[in-house]
Amino acid sequence: MGFSRKEYAFLSEIGLSSGNLGCFVNGTWKGSGPVVSTLNPANNQKIAEVSEASIQDYEEGMQACSEAAKIWMQVPAPKRGDIVRQIGDALRSKLHQLGRLVSLEMGKILPEGIGEVQEIIDMCDFAVGLSRQLNGSVIPSERICPKMIGSVVNRSKSYDVGGELLMWNPLGIVGVITAFNFPCAVLGAPTTPLVTIAMTKLVAEVLEKNNLPGAIFTSFCGGAEIGEAIAKDRRINLVSFTGSSKVGVKVQQTVNERFGKCLLELSGNNAIIVMDDADIKLAVRSVLFAAVGTAGQRCTTCRRLLLHESIYRTVVDQLLDVYKQVKIGDPLEKGTLLGPLHTSSSRKNFEKGIEIIKSQGGKILTGGGIIESEGNFVQPTIVEISPDANVVKEELFAPVLYVMKFKTLKEAIEINNSVPQGLSSSIFTSKPEFIFKWIGPQGSDTGIVNVNIPTNGAEIGGAFGGEKATGGGREAGSDSWKQYMRRSTW
């Protein structure tokens, strides 16, 4: 089946058509649930149709996945790593097509779409090396007893080398419920099903080439009904949820009721602090990228800007100037810096948010309105407001930046830490004493604590995630892999 618009023809290169089955179940494609249309947020016109999963599809898929997991868990970790390497290579071969799809279906500008696909390719490369480093440990034992390690190492019956052995084994099935804003890096959401399907097809080809069960990677395009089923399913050892804090609490409660494990990546309300000794030009560029990128729809978007009172006016004036230069438009067009919000509902939430901001004393310095068009475009907005306003404590998923003054670093840190969320933060300064205060125990209480760089754009080598209402989960680097493993002590 062909596409109605010529500019969508590239989608056939990644296995998509105008009508798509949205479930990969036991190595085959199906979808007996509702048929939904996926829309281009730049004009709200249909891209394609997708047949979503039914509960029957879900149950069939989970039965097959449970059996496939038994096979996958017995594959040695380095061999599993090689499969991941092949998946990375498959993604690399379709980098630009996938990046274009992300921009088309989600709405972020093309460089960001390609960058997102590159991020998951980098994650695959990282995981390949990690597959040979899932090290356990031997712990000296206080007991004199015939443990296997003594007889194996010494090949004798002398047991004075006994020790406790710690091993890491695969946890089992992991269920992933994700959001729309990074549909490739963390898989797709109900409003970005084409990315999920295209990604799954590439993974499925790798599994088939290696004579592995397709059910190892089982995917469902669906809504709340499928998400609830995942949260309740005792066969799923870990549920990884990315989304709002409000929904995350419900997911966590459901998973906890069955004593499952939960990994939460939830809301962010991230602040940038600019001290009086900061490089102002660098800070302004960074704030623009952090506040406007992805139309303010990153969990790491800068939403609060804290400025030392002595440089407040200078920084605000420079920001207002660069905001005027932001090109708003089709995310696939060269030169566009700000694409649309993802859905028409997001645009309505933006309008409601602006009214609440005004009612709580916020002063609109620039922006504050929607852009009349077929798409979901809004104006990038800067608001002067008190840090004590209730609306500042919440996450408005849009390009809205709150600016406020402070006198001392202590006051700035208190404002930074005063919100329920704790994902990312950054300080701009050249003074070592400020930096070490900022990253220390009495500094920022967020999971990501940056210096002289934006709040967004985390590198894969470090653990990504936050504290408080952000959920406490960690992904990517450091020892985040341990969350997907079962610790066995012998």
CA distance 99 to 435: 36
User: Looking at the DSSP assignment, which residues form a beta bridge with residue 167?
Assistant: 488
pLDDT of residue 158: 47
Distance CA(304)–CA(426), nearest Å, equals: 11
Q: What are phi and psi of 418, to 5 degrees?
A: -85, -5
List, in sequence order, every residue forming a beta bridge with 404; answer none if it has no partner. Answer: 306
Q: Which helix (H) or strand (E) holds 231?
A: helix 224-232
Q: Which two tokens stand for residue 395?
A: 């996450």
CA atoms within 13 A on the CB side of 369: 4
The CATH number that domain 270-459 falls under is: 3.40.309.10
In the numeric block, which tokens belong to residue 65? Answer: 């996945």
**Confidence (pTM):** 0.92
C-alpha 308/C-alpha 56 separation (Å) is 58
CA distance 240 to 194: 21
pLDDT the model gives residue 162: 59
Position 147 scores a pLDDT of 52
Question: Same CATH topology for 6-133+170-266+475-489 and 270-459?
Answer: no
Question: Which residue ranges in the chain fall short of pLDDT 70?
Answer: 1-4, 144-162, 187-188, 457
Q: Which of 263, 69, 68, 302 is nearest to 178 (CA)?
A: 263
CB-based burial of residue 393 (10 Å sphere; 0-12 exposed, 13-18 middle, 19+ buried)?
middle
Q: What is the DSSP string of 334-357?
A: TT--B---SSHHHHHHHHHHHHHH
pLDDT value for 478: 85
* Res 22: pLDDT: 95
Residues 214 and 209: their CA atoms lie apart, in Å, by 10
CA–CA dist 38, 18 (Å, integer): 10
CA angle 121–464–413, rounded 5-degree value: 145
Please give the pLDDT value at position 383.
98
Give yes or no: 257 in active site: no
Q: CA-CA distances (angstroms) from residue 294 to 251, 276, 426?
A: 26, 29, 19
What is the pLDDT at residue 78? 96
Write out pLDDT tens, residues 350-387: 999 999 999 999 999 999 999 999 999 999 999 999 99
Q: Is 14 helix (H, G, I), strand (E, B) or coil?
A: helix
Report, at the CATH architecture level, how domain 6-133+170-266+475-489 is classified: 3-Layer(aba) Sandwich (3.40)
- Over the range 285-305, which residues count as b (16 or more CB within 10 Å of their CB) and which as e? ebbbbbbbbbbbbbbbbbbbb
What are the backbone angles phi and psi of residue 291, rounded to the nearest 5°?
-90, -30
pLDDT, position 164: 79
Spot the catalytic one: 112, 116, 265, 475: 265
Please state, in angstroms and rounded to a whole number, the distance separating the CA atoms of residues 110 and 196: 18
pLDDT in tens, 66-83: 999 999 999 999 999 999
Q: What per-residue confidence (pLDDT) applies to 456?
A: 83
The domain spans of the chain are 6-133+170-266+475-489, 270-459
DSSP H helices in 75-192: 77-93, 95-106, 110-130, 148-154
* N-term to C-term CA, the chain: 57
- What's phi and psi for 120, nearest 5 deg? -75, -30
